[in-house]
Structure 1
Amino acid sequence: MVSLPRLLIAAPSTGQGKTTVATGLMAALRATGLTVSGHKVGPDYIDPGYHALATGRPGRNLDPHLVGEDLVVPLLLHGASTPERGELADLADIAVIEGVMGLHDGRLGTDGFASTAHLARLTDTPVVLVIDCGRLSRSAAAIAAGMAVFDPRVRIAGVVLNRAGSDRNTEEITRALASWRLPVVGRLPYDAELASPSRHLGLVPVAERGESAALIERLGAQVAAHLDLPALLEIAASAPDLDAVPWDPSAVVRPVASGRRPVVAVAGGRAFTFRYPETEELLRAAGCDVVPFDPLHDEDLPAGVAGVHLGGGFPEVYAGELAGNARLMARVREAVGDGVPTVAECAGLLYLCRTLDGVPMAGAVPLAATMSPRLTLRYPVATAASDSLLTRRGERVSAHEFHRTVTDPVATEPAAWIVDGAPTGVAGPRLHASYLHVHWAGYPQLAQRFAEAVAVASGAGAGSGTADGVADPLRHHGDREVGGDLLDLAVNVHPGPRPEWLDRALHASIGEAAAYPDVAPAVGAVAAHAGRPATEVLVTAGAAEAFTLIARLRPWRRPVVVHPQFTEPHAALESAGHRVTPVLLPAETGFALDPALLPEDADLVVVGNPTNPTGVLHPAEAVLALRRPGRVVVVDEAFMDAVPDEAASLARTAPPDVVVLRSLTKLWGIPGVRAGYVLAGAEIVAELARLQVPWAVSTAAIAATRACLAPEAAPEARARAADIAAWRTELVAALAARGVEVVPSSTSFVLARLGAGTRERLREHGIAVRRCDTFPGLDATWCRIAVRPPATTARLLAALEESRV
């Protein structure tokens, strides 16, 4: 439990003075020597700029629409933590949260979702209500009383009377509030000098107001003079403890480079003030150096730039000045044309257009933008239109859109997003530009992909040193490592010939190809082999189809993938629009499964056993210890048949909430057939079956499943598992004798720390091993080596000796 004094400044409607009171309170409390963290409900970028100036810390947004309800409290604690360390021991003395719109006003049609009241409930924060009583008397008390009883889950702990008039009038309001036990904690008089000027999108950003520091100082002095700071501190101290830990960017992205950190140029200055600080924190955690540049004044991009991020702002206000910096515009146009990974949101999109209201822009995208009489303000749920720099086709994100311009055309092909059935924006392998703002803390895979692309572009990332870069590490497969005359130690398919009985079954299936496949015989074979009823069996087109079905099974709130492991389930969950929480098992413990590392609120947990690429076999008890009420545990046993006697398998004994995935691909050498199956409780199997497309499993896969699981196949399966175990023992001993660190494995491959650059040198000597820097939790010093017969192992060992010379 974490103690964080906090309060939330709200109002019955926009324009009541929330920003004045909240920002002034932050400044006043800071002036007393307290460490204050400032937060804003909703997607707004402008108010957090004032908060940052008042507190001396980054202003933070708290928006359940953009990041999901589960991340709100962790992001609150992150913002209240010491920015450099994010440690709970260094929490701010108090957090002040500014609301949005009216207290109960949220996304339309959602009964107040993402409203200030919703945020107050999620964070269990007492509310201080600001009421503009410039034209009110007792009616102000009626408004406050109505607010107090409208939702009993929201605690209004005090009222601030803004633009308070005569003493007599404020005393009238105070008496009326007292009968409702709503104390007045301040009476702020009207001060014209403190009014925040408007712009067509809202308040003027702090970066554009030369007198901002003086304004904040004046606000703080006014609040200190007219608000009851001790009473407000008492309200903040009454907030209950929070059962959460701070959000940590390093826990949701992995470093993309070892050694040199690739440079991401981030637009700033007066024209580009809109971005969430978590965006830069994620990029830094992913191993990038974030370097700001000002499109109004800088004539070139930062030295060594390998990626560009153009956030939001007001380019339409500064269009002439931006166009006057033609040298930088040309440089940006060249960078986009040269394939430098570039992300542009809203203002960034306008900057990349050919023109903005007739004024020349960078011309990096084939769009022209013009001002519109209509303000676009919405909270859309967008679907990725294609695989691109940031997205994978079909992914869904919750976004924010806020602009008074339109582009012609609205989108290119391929577009960035589909919103309300219509395409919008521009996307490609190295570009993603649209009007939509996405909070990357809610979708860290976007930051990960951008950082990966930047690292490859810089030559510092996973793709450097190979013929092909790795644009999407989660989808990188071992078969991409092989080719030409390379000896394949990267793919884990059994190297021996298929048994004659299996070939006969596969050949016979060709004769049945004229009819639609009937999966029932394969279901019966699996059920008999596993000793389970047919209702607990689903035959699939390999484990890959099963991962996709599970990703679509339910609207998972907190899916967890335990890494290092096969990355396909992680990719499938992301493609289905889920925010994945990765849990990394440390090498120091031998990648042992520790249930204590998993968040308690995880409703889906995916773990490999034995795990690809570590080869670690987790005890069945450890896997079962992951179970929780309401949670589904998925165990990928794709390599279990290579384990003698299938020790630790849950295929026969798993309870209904544990889903076991099996594959016939590896042991039997049939990756092209795509044969696998799911074992789970009947209810889950029925749900998965409803998602499966008709005739998803081919006639050949059905034949292979029946043959490989027939009792007659058991002796060959045992013999192959025994061969693998003997070959692995010889390989591990030989590597250990050469001083190579090897993770104890129970299956058909071993994870070895060969050292950075060894994989590339082995390729020069004709040997392909599996790179491991594409697996979360591992880096380029690790390689996965397929277990092979002694003669093949000898070739590997000879190449290792030669590569060391």
Structure 2
Amino acid sequence: MRLPRVVIAAAASGQGKTTVAVGVMAALTRAGHVVAGAKVGPDFIDPGYHELATGRPGRNLDPWLQGESRILPLLAHGAATPDPADLTVVEGVMGLFDGRLGTDGWASTAHVATLTRSPVVVVIDISSASRTVAATVHGLRTFDPDVRVAGVILNKAGSTRHADEVRRSVEQLGVPVLGVLPRDAGVSAPSRHLGLVPAAERPEAAAALDRLAEQTAELIDLDAIVEIASAAPDLDTLPWSPVTLPDRARMPSRRVAVAGGRAFTFRYAETEEQLRALGLEPVVFDPALDTALPAGTAGIYLGGGFPEVHAGALSTNRRLLADVRDAVLSGVPTVAECAGLLYLCEAVDGHGLVGAVPARAAMHPRLTLRYVTATAPEDTLLAPAGAEVRGHEFHRTRTTPGHGERAAWRLHGSAADGSPEGWSLDPAGTGSPTVHASYLHTHWAGHPELGLRFAEAVHASPHERSVDPGAPGVRSVVDARSTNESGTGGNAPAATNHPGSGNAHDPGEDLLEHHGDLETDPHLVDLAVNVRLAAPPPWLANRLREHIGDLAAYPDVRGATRALARRHGVGEDTVLPTSGAAEAFVLLARMTDARRPVVVHPQFTEPEAALRRAGVVPERVVLDAADGFRLEPGRVPDDADLVVIGNPTNPTGVLHPRSVLESLRRPGRLLVVDEAFMDTITGERDSLISPDMDGVLVLRSLTKTWGLAGLRAGYAVGSPAVVGALARQQPHWSVSSLAASVMEATSTPAAVAEAEAATRETDLWRNHLVAGLRALGLSPIASQTSFVLVTVGAGVRERMRERGYALRRGDTFPGLGPEWVRIAVRDPQTIDGMLRELATVLTTQERIA
């Protein structure tokens, strides 16, 4: 058969092959080609980007999991399904010749390229070499005569001169250079503990892909790649076909609930194709959103993903947890691979989940990544006793205990010789196991007997979930308002009596001193605190670790001052590093001798609290919700000599135009603008930091964007006279060495660009939150930052705590009442879980009313 194809490989991991491969797929697709994508190896994440780029299912080619004899048929199947493709682009794995350890490159990119007789284009990071790149290409080209290197793409070129030097040396070998990507051209997905973040979890992925496709079309010779693919020799093979049941025609189709959504993104495309061929109807449900299994569920398939990342949203969906637990314990045949195993556990990192598997799971410092052979120790749901399969493990969690009395597998190889793994359970006492829960991933195209055995169990099972399909689903949060509130999911977090959880004020409570962290709890999903990251990014955490050795010396903030001044284009004498913005408020209160101070509310309560502690009682200008909390400059008294305002304002999220704030400048007045959240605004376009700071003092915080609330890092920018007066109030060494290091690190162009990219992601996530709130009939304030203010009604916040979500109470801000809440912008999965519960709470409130 004719099958144009090309393999995108690399000299080593981290060279840019995923970016290039996905970019080529996207650019060719946008140029009108029908492109099929495939990935060498077991990885689930890259095929998700392939699917986004091509509009076709992403495929995997792995001789270990599937067997050498199935690689060509699976390649042909991917090229023909759902319709014939013009060409196939195969992304490699690791370095070109890197495969399973101890096997001389088994399952490597070169192995698959040889099996499929595919030409190879190699991506090479040239950032730290020039002519040596040619030596590398020469070695890759000649190491194995059966591997044909047909072209090279140079990545991370430092300059045109640098690229030209490398190009000349490579082309002297007779190998064409098909493109050069500059060092700053890469558009890549963010990473976390298991590699790239799946495309399904990134609402901005499609937009990023468009940019990548444009760059690829501009910088890489797509016609040359098509020509190389078209020159691949014809193949003697037939496309793969899934196995079927012998008496399939006489069997009615039965539904299998397949976990999906952002928390369960890992499953091979052939798995669902195999299920359909076996007379089963896969119906995808989202464990974070849907409140019951699909109607008619007779089997459950829980694949891989990141439940540990989304455990908060999953644990609060108590109705679904109860339904899944009831189904599993009643004997509905259930397969749970890796993430599915975690979901069935009693808890993950303290978040209660289904509880059908008698174990608890937690993150572990070591990554488990390995190919293994497994045997069934006895008859299980998937295999008869003694059956042998090949699989892989890829996780950074551990369960306690590590396996059940009746294990799902015994593992062999990679220091796992004979060790039991997973759980094979018969919770309903049927006499045969109905639950197979394991960390091991298998490929059902490589082991069709596994799918066949599962299908036979589903067809033979008397169980079928008889649930009204219109009642439980929360595909749309609008529909959720009409659902019945049923089921509690016994492992979900209980309500707490944490400070801030009550509706009424403590008579002795100073609301100006209240902070959102009083409203959080380890068992609640935190939407009350506006810190973007759960921890500093790895590069910043590494820098902090490196500087721990400097702690014996007293802090020196001169480097931080210089870095901050350069970052904003102002003089060093206009910058004062502080221990967070909170210290700056205290310094201001100590410094001021204002006769008529004014604080514009609603906003951070800390400035007024600091002034009052210093014996200064300011007047309040309270903005009106009916006007969208917009500032009318005329409302500020002309003779006010100290005016404090937030921009963007906390908790409203309103961004006041720079021109409006500039109109507040007066001779003899100090205008203090709290810009703690200005780095969440694209381009920081309305910041008042400028070379002319006369009469203006801007306060900044680095803790929100960089996940540093526990470190306290901020700064003030003002005229030299005002900054000098603040400095005279500051204790010696109030800014720690580590905080000063953070100020330097986050002021670099690369860090500023990273923060800017984060603002674009925040914009997308905020839009998702606002759309969801509006779909519930609510009217959120038009925020432009990392939180949204909305009125939901008195008592709703407390009800949301009972359902596992901490929202920031509004009545601690002057001008707001108990019907207001502030919701931090989080990832869409977390937001959707919150909207699911909010919909139910609002529905209940309406019924009571």
Normalised TM-score (structure 2): 0.52
Residue 163 of structure 1, CA deviation: 1.5
Equivalences for residues 694-733 of structure 1 within 5 A: none
Distance 1:345 1:191 in 2: 38
Residue number in structure 1 paired with 2:132:
139
1:200 and 2:204 aligned = no
Aligned counterpart in structure 1 of residue 446 of structure 2, from 442, 455, 459: 442
What is the letter of the counterpart of residue 394 of structure 1? G
Residue number in structure 2 paired with 1:29:
28
Distance 2:452 2:327 in 1: 21
Distance 1:28 1:340 in 2: 45
What is the letter of the counterpart of residue 3 of structure 2? L
Distance 2:244 2:179 in 1: 42
Equivalences for residues 324-403 of structure 1 within 5 A: 324-403=316-395
Distance 1:341 1:17 in 2: 42
Residue 392 of structure 1, CA deviation: 0.7
Residue 165 of structure 1, CA deviation: 2.7
Q: Which runs of 5+ in 2 are unaligned?
A: 412-416, 426-432, 465-849
1:426 and 2:423 aligned = yes
Distance 1:82 1:459 in 2: 33
Equivalences for residues 639-788 of structure 1 within 5 A: none
Cα 1:305/1:255, change in 2 over 3 Å: farther
Residue 188 of structure 1, CA deviation: 1.6
Distance 1:255 1:403 in 2: 38
Alpha-carbon displacement from aligned partner over 1:241-264 (angstroms, at most 9, x marks no partner): 111000011x45546463531000
Alpha-carbon displacement from aligned partner over 1:599-642 (angstroms, at most 9, x marks no partner): xxxxxxxxxxxxxxxxxxxxxxxxxxxxxxxxxxxxxxxxxxxx
Q: Judge conservation of contact 2:185–2:215 (CA < 8 Å) in 1.
A: no
Instruction: Report the 3-state secondary structure (helix = DSSP H, G, I; strand = E; otherwise coil) of the residue aligned with 1:264.
Output: strand
Distance 2:294 2:379 in 1: 28
Residue number in structure 1 paired with 2:118:
125
Aligned counterpart in structure 2 of residue 108 of structure 1, from 101, 112, 123: 101
Aligned counterpart in structure 2 of residue 282 of structure 1, from 256, 260, 274: 274
Instruction: Report the 3-state secondary structure (helix = DSSP H, G, I; strand = E; otherwise coil) of the residue aligned with 1:74.
Output: helix
Q: Judge conservation of contact 1:8–1:96 (CA < 8 Å) in 2.
A: yes
Residue 191 of structure 1, CA deviation: 3.5
Residue number in structure 1 paired with 2:781:
none
Distance 1:258 1:326 in 2: 38
1:411 and 2:403 aligned = yes
Distance 1:274 1:397 in 2: 19
Residue number in structure 1 paired with 2:457:
453
Residue number in structure 2 paired with 1:94:
87
Q: Judge conservation of contact 1:174–1:184 (CA < 8 Å) in 2.
A: yes
Q: Judge conservation of contact 1:252–1:444 (CA < 8 Å) in 2.
A: no
Instruction: Report the 3-state secondary structure (helix = DSSP H, G, I; strand = E; otherwise coil) of the residue aligned with 1:274.
Output: coil
Residue number in structure 2 paired with 1:503:
none
Residue number in structure 1 paired with 2:61:
62
Q: Which runs of 5+ in 1 are unaligned?
A: 84-89, 461-805
Distance 1:408 1:62 in 2: 33
Instruction: Report the 3-state secondary structure (helix = DSSP H, G, I; strand = E; otherwise coil) of the residue aligned with 2:48.
Output: helix
Cα 1:252/1:70, change in 2 over 3 Å: farther
- Percent identical among aligned pairs is 61
Instruction: Report the 3-state secondary structure (helix = DSSP H, G, I; strand = E; otherwise coil) of the residue aligned with 2:361.
Output: strand
Distance 2:362 2:185 in 1: 34
Distance 1:256 1:165 in 2: 60
Alpha-carbon displacement from aligned partner over 1:466-509 (angstroms, at most 9, x marks no partner): xxxxxxxxxxxxxxxxxxxxxxxxxxxxxxxxxxxxxxxxxxxx
Q: Judge conservation of contact 2:110–2:147 (CA < 8 Å) in 1.
A: yes
Distance 2:324 2:49 in 1: 30
Normalised TM-score (structure 1): 0.55
Residue 192 of structure 1, CA deviation: 5.9
Query: How many residue pairs get matched?
Result: 452
Distance 1:359 1:270 in 2: 17
Q: Judge conservation of contact 1:262–1:455 (CA < 8 Å) in 2.
A: yes
Alpha-carbon displacement from aligned partner over 1:117-162 (angstroms, at most 9, x marks no partner): 0000000000000001122211111111111111111000000001
Alpha-carbon displacement from aligned partner over 1:718-770 (angstroms, at most 9, x marks no partner): xxxxxxxxxxxxxxxxxxxxxxxxxxxxxxxxxxxxxxxxxxxxxxxxxxxxx
Q: Judge conservation of contact 1:262–1:458 (CA < 8 Å) in 2.
A: no
1:232 and 2:216 aligned = no
Q: Judge conservation of contact 2:348–2:361 (CA < 8 Å) in 1.
A: yes
Instruction: Report the 3-state secondary structure (helix = DSSP H, G, I; strand = E; otherwise coil) of the residue aligned with 1:453.
Output: helix
What is the letter of the counterpart of residue 445 of structure 1? E
Instruction: Report the 3-state secondary structure (helix = DSSP H, G, I; strand = E; otherwise coil) of the residue aligned with 1:161.
Output: strand
Distance 1:294 1:135 in 2: 45
Residue number in structure 1 paired with 2:14:
15
Residue number in structure 1 paired with 2:478:
none
Distance 1:175 1:34 in 2: 31
Distance 1:75 1:46 in 2: 19
Distance 1:459 1:413 in 2: 26
Alpha-carbon displacement from aligned partner over 1:424-453 (angstroms, at most 9, x marks no partner): 101142110100000000111111111111
The CA RMSD over aligned residues, in Å, is: 1.4
Equivalences for residues 261-300 of structure 1 within 5 A: 261-300=253-292
Residue 359 of structure 1, CA deviation: 1.5
Distance 1:279 1:146 in 2: 39
Instruction: Report the 3-state secondary structure (helix = DSSP H, G, I; strand = E; otherwise coil) of the residue aligned with 1:423.
Output: strand
Q: Judge conservation of contact 1:255–1:287 (CA < 8 Å) in 2.
A: no
Residue 403 of structure 1, CA deviation: 0.4
Cα 1:281/1:254, change in 2 over 3 Å: farther
Cα 1:32/1:458, change in 2 over 3 Å: farther
Instruction: Report the 3-state secondary structure (helix = DSSP H, G, I; strand = E; otherwise coil) of the residue aligned with 2:78.
Output: helix
Alpha-carbon displacement from aligned partner over 1:187-236 (angstroms, at most 9, x marks no partner): 12233671321110000000111111111111111111111111111110
Distance 2:309 2:246 in 1: 38
Cα 1:367/1:440, change in 2 over 3 Å: same
Residue number in structure 2 paired with 1:710:
none
Distance 2:149 2:372 in 1: 30
Cα 1:172/1:286, change in 2 over 3 Å: same
Cα 1:253/1:111, change in 2 over 3 Å: farther
Aligned counterpart in structure 2 of residue 184 of structure 1, from 177, 186, 207: 177
Residue 277 of structure 1, CA deviation: 0.7
Distance 2:239 2:260 in 1: 27
Q: Judge conservation of contact 1:253–1:445 (CA < 8 Å) in 2.
A: no
Distance 1:174 1:192 in 2: 18
